[in-house]
Chains A and B, each alone.
Chain A
């Protein structure tokens, strides 16, 4: 059953991914849709950041992750490269847990 469920997840995910490249590759979108498509990643990435930082399952949880991601944001303000931003995020979270926070 686990294998069957994995197959369902894999096939379904691939179909969702394939709609854009198969239905609209190389097509020019109308101006409004084009601007909308370019703003969609901003809205959804921000939502992913928020939910992965302060939620656990369906609950809002403030823990060490928030400190780590806040530190990563500061690193970004100083124009740190991607790898440093991620290391700061993970490192500060780990340190906070070591110190017994969250």
Chain B
């Protein structure tokens, strides 16, 4: 504590205090006539960048009108949280395997992007959805192949 706090310092403090108060008020006043910087969220939706990381999504390719998943399971093995489960199917012997079901548990996903990086067929991408709140835990479990069918 400053012991030599006399009348002179007291008056000086009042003066500088009022000055800094006026300056601060001036900043606020100036701001009042400037445009709003916040997004009025429910009425106004932000546009997400192409690289935005929502949950993962299977890409719809034009050549076969479907995904390119071969159910190799690399994504499931790489996932740090073990949230991916892929089921493959072969229609007949000698055919190539393809992904039939692709489950992710989004509630546990940490959005690291390792599955997208590791995919040898490049059939995974991040969706642009950001309203990802659920009412129950099972709402977070989604089948990407089913979502792809719905998008077709």
Do A and B assemble together?
A: no
- Interface, chain A (partner B; CB < 8 A): none
Instruction: Give B residues with C-beta under 8 Å from A.
Output: none
